[in-house]
A and B are shown apart, each in its own frame.
Chain A
Amino acid sequence: AQKITQTQPGMFVQEKEAVTLDCTYDTSDPSYGLFWYKQPSSGEMIFLIYQGSYDQQNATEGRYSLNFQKARKSANLVISASQLGDSAMYFCASNQAGTALIFGKGTTLSVSS
């Protein structure tokens, strides 16, 4: 069974600083996908970034990058140059062929000016 662990219930960062949100995963299949979602207080689930297990390069999308360390089963999200609008809950998730996305418990990010 898949399992996602996010050990940071809350993180605090100042505007323009970089922040790393931790995620470790456990999956039995060598083929899997890793995801990060943002959920603001409005409740919508916003897709940020995806990494496939066979991708050689770390995924990047604008200010978001995924630090993929396969041997450590780690998929940390790095947000560069934080903005006030980044304040939200962040979820790490994974899937395997034929299965649903499984989510971690989330990390609340607070960005201050």
Chain B
Amino acid sequence: GAGVSQSPRYKVAKRGQDVALRCDPISGHVSLFWYQQALGQGPEFLTYFQNEAQLDKSGLPSDRFFAERPEGSVSTLKIQRTQQEDSAVYLCASSLSGGAYDYGYTFGSGTRLTVV
């Protein structure tokens, strides 16, 4: 596609519910990144894929968070047993390679998750 597509755009979950957030990157982009952005804050890194390999998951805040990219394209971020502190915008970005000289990062519009 022309851009990075994220769905759903908005999600309201009851505390304790599981949610799945989808990211469809630009076709051919090798690297995919997930970020969590709380209101008024900068995006915080969650995890990073190169093709289907999850190279860095150091930013995942707890074992309730899980991400996958099984075929090296679409990625899903799953949050189990959601808590109120999980309320945030979840941003996905993709890039052609993801190295230091790759400045072609494209961000999706994000999924705004509200846990009630």
Contacts and interface: CB of A to CB of B under 8 A. Distances in A.
Interface of A: 4, 6, 29, 31-33, 35, 43-45, 47, 50, 52-53, 91, 95-106
A91 B107 contact: no
Interface residues of B, number: 25
Contact of A45 (B45, B48, B56, B91): B91
B97 to A, nearest CB: 10
B100 interface: yes
B56 A99 contact: yes
Interface of B: 33, 35, 40-45, 48, 55-56, 89, 91, 93, 98-103, 105, 107, 109-110, 112
A88 B103 CA distance: 21
A51 to B, nearest CB: 9
A61 B109 CA distance: 23
For the complex, would chain A's binding face be called helix, strand, loop or mixed by DSSP majority? loop
Contact of A52 (B43, B44, B56, B101): B101
Contacts of A102: 45
6 contacts: A33-B103, A44-B109, A47-B105, A99-B48, A103-B43, A106-B42
A35 B103 contact: yes
Identify the interface centre among B43, B55, B99: most chain A CB within 10 Å of its CB: B43
Given A6-B42, A100-B56, 19 more contacts: A4-B42, A31-B101, A33-B101, A35-B105, A43-B109, A43-B110, A44-B107, A45-B43, A45-B107, A52-B100, A52-B101, A96-B100, A98-B55, A100-B33, A100-B48, A101-B33, A102-B45, A105-B41, A105-B42
